[in-house]
Amino acid sequence: MDRKVEIKKLARRIKFILPYVESEELTENALVMPFIQLLGFDADQVRADTRNTTLYKLKETRRPSYTIFKDDRLNLLVECAHHREKLEDFESSLNRYWHKTKANYAMLTNGIEYRIYSSAMMRSN
């Protein structure tokens, strides 16, 4: 099916389920993962095991939401926020993760708004 049609179907579905999405984890599973799959990534390519990109701080461990590999190379780094959160509040986290990994692309999303950056764009940050 046409990707444009699929995105419109996903948008209608999101409008319907949005009031029931109460956590960041539900945002990831109900809003973000279907979009990632629409981009053509198989769920098997999406890894929630992001230990290689973990940043350690005193009393806090931070990891990106997803890492997506292509040919065993990190292709896309994804940082998700709850759909009620402003993406600006998560830009510095995404930037830190990217500088540690040098992924080809980085995505920052709350399931409603998506910001996708190339490595050239991330280097300029």
Q: pLDDT (tens digit, 0 to 9) for every residue of the chain, 125 residues total?
A: 688 999 999 999 999 999 999 999 999 999 999 999 998 887 766 765 544 544 444 445 678 888 888 787 888 899 999 999 999 999 999 998 888 888 899 999 999 999 999 988 888 76
Distance CA 10, CA 58 (A): 39
Distance CA 63, CA 48 (A): 9
> Which tens digit of pLDDT belongs to each residue from 54-65?
444 444 567 888
Q: Provide the residue ranges of all domains of the chain, joining segments of one domain with +.
A: 3-123
Whole-number pLDDT of residue 41 = 83
Whole-number pLDDT of residue 58 = 45
Residue 88 CB coordination number (10 Å): 9
Domain 3-123 matching CATH 3.90.1570.30: the answer reads yes
Q: What is the dihedral of CA 45, 72, 125, 54, to 10 degrees?
A: 80
Give the per-residue SS3 of the chain: CCHHHHHHHHHHHHHHHHHHCCCHHHHHHHHHHHHHHHCCCCHHHEECCCHHHCEEECCEEECCCEEEEECCEEEEEEEECCCCCCHHHHHHHHHHHHHHHCCCEEEEECCCCEEEEEHHHHHCC
pTM of the predicted protein model: 0.83
Whole-number pLDDT of residue 102 = 80
